[in-house]
């Protein structure tokens, strides 16, 4: 027999029926196998070496061969001796179960070692994947978010605890950091450009509004001037017409009433004075009208300036309220994050929990702001 089959011993053909028919008839053969198992257990191979692990597998295989050989012999005897199949089958099952149990007993240290080894490898692979995932985002993040992720990634220690995965972990961290730093530079430049564009847009809108306001003021002033000039012109025309009418009347009176010259002269003198007074009054009214139009235009301009200032003040106030609310929520969210971390939750899990609760994606749970 070879080293792999030396345990696979079976009863002799001529005694097989008696052995399998007797209660516990195969016990001597089982004890021989048990003795080999006990001897193996007294000097267990080193699981940390390939040779040691092969020795565990080899011993389990030897037991399996013995199990199969004894079972095959029992099948043969059972087939030949149909009158005692139940006794043989019962002995077969007992031997099978016993050797199955011993097989598992011998192999258990190897299986336990393999399970622990798989868990160790999975842990390192999960850690490396986590590092890679830190450079991935569902949507384009803000620069401040990228900077925070970079800080978290830089805090991950790459040391001997990674064992043989140390080079792969270091490479994954370097690649993720390079990607994040490039993205940070890109987003920082983009956000700065957006701020500058917004500033230029606001300045352009302010200039355009001022130009519109100035044009409105100019149009109002020109309209007031035109109206005042029209009124003055009408008054001058009316005064001139009155003068012409009076002159015509005077001439008619002079022709018709030469004898009443003195009286007519007095009336003419009186009319002249009245005309002068009327012209003076018309001039005063014209100047007063111009002043009223100017005052109205100035008031309209000042009202528009006041309205613009009020609108700007209200917009500034609303912006301050939004910033204060944002800072307030950020402070409360940070306090919740610190509480999760203090309670033992990993930082990334804590951050995700706070984010989901703040976004109201967790039913029945909310942050009181």
Distance CA(59)–CA(95), nearest Å, equals 17
Distance CA(308)–CA(209), nearest Å, equals 10
Distance CA(91)–CA(99), nearest Å, equals 12
DSSP 84: S
Distance CA(259)–CA(249), nearest Å, equals 16
Beta-carbon neighbour count of residue 199 at 10 Å? 10
Q: What share of the chain is helix, strand, coil (3-state, %, to 5)?
A: 85, 0, 15
Distance CA(63)–CA(34), nearest Å, equals 9
List all residues 6 or more positions away from 94 whose beta carbon is below 8 Å from its beta carbon. 24
Tokens of 95: 């031997």
Q: Which contacts qualify for 111-115: CB closer than 8 Å, 24 or more apart?
A: 113/47, 113/53
Print pLDDT tens along the chain (369 aa): 333 445 557 888 888 888 888 889 889 999 999 999 999 989 888 888 999 899 999 999 999 999 999 999 888 887 777 766 777 788 889 999 998 999 898 889 888 898 988 899 999 999 899 988 888 888 888 888 989 989 988 888 888 888 888 899 899 889 999 999 998 899 899 888 888 898 899 889 888 888 888 888 888 888 888 888 888 888 888 888 888 888 887 777 667 767 766 766 777 788 888 888 888 888 888 888 888 888 888 888 888 888 889 888 898 999 898 998 888 988 998 998 899 899 898 988 889 988 998 888 888 888 887
Nearest Cα residue to 149 out of 355, 348, 328:
348
- Alpha helix positions (H), the chain: 16-21, 27-42, 50-80, 85-133, 143-154, 166-256, 261-342, 347-358
In the chain, the N- to C-terminal Cα span, in Å, equals: 81
Nearest Cα residue to 19 out of 78, 60, 96:
78
Tokens of 359: 């976004």
Distance CA(152)–CA(142), nearest Å, equals 16
Quick one: CA torsion of 49, 51, 57, 59, rounded to 10 degrees? Answer: -120
Confirm whether pTM is higher than 0.85: no
DSSP 5: T
């Amino acid at each position: 027999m070879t080293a792999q089959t030396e345990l696979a011993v079976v009863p002799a053909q001529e005694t097989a029926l008696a052995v399998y028919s007797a209660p516990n008839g195969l016990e001597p053969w089982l004890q021989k196998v048990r003795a080999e198992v006990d001897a193996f257990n007294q000097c267990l191979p080193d699981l940390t070496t390939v040779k040691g692990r092969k020795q565990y597998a080899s011993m389990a295989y030897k037991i399996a061969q013995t199990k199969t050989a004894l079972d095959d012999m029992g099948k043969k005897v059972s087939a030949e001796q149909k009158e005692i199949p139940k006794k043989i089958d019962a002995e077969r099952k007992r031997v099978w179960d016993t050797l199955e149990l011993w097989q598992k007993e011998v192999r258990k240290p190897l299986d336990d070692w393999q399970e622990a080894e798989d868990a160790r490898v999975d842990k390192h692979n999960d850690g490396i994947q986590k590092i890679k995932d830190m450079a991935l985002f569902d949507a384009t993040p803000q620069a401040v978010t990228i900077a925070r992720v970079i800080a978290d990634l830089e805090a991950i220690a790459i040391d001997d605890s990674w064992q043989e995965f140390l080079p792969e972990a270091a490479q994954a961290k370097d690649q993720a950091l390079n990607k994040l730093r490039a993205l940070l530079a890109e987003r920082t430049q983009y956000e700065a450009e957006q701020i500058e564009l917004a500033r230029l847009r606001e300045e352009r809108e302010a200039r355009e509004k001022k130009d519109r306001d100035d044009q409105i003021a100019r149009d109002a002033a020109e309209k007031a001037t035109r109206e005042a000039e029209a009124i003055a012109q009408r008054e001058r025309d009316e005064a001139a017409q009155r003068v012409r009418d009076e002159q015509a009347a005077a001439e008619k009176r002079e022709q018709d009433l030469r004898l009443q010259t003195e009286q007519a002269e007095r009336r003419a003198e009186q009319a002249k004075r009245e005309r002068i007074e009327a012209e003076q009054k018309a001039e005063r009214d014209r100047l007063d009208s111009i002043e009223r139009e100017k005052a109205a235009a100035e008031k309209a301009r000042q009202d528009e300036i006041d309205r613009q200032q009020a609108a700007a003040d209200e917009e500034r106030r609303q912006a301050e309220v939004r910033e204060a609310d944002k800072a307030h929520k950020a402070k409360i969210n940070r306090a919740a994050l610190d509480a999760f971390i203090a309670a033992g939750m990993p930082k990334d899990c804590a951050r995700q929990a706070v984010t989901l609760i703040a976004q109201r994606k967790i039913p029945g749970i909310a942050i009181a702001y």
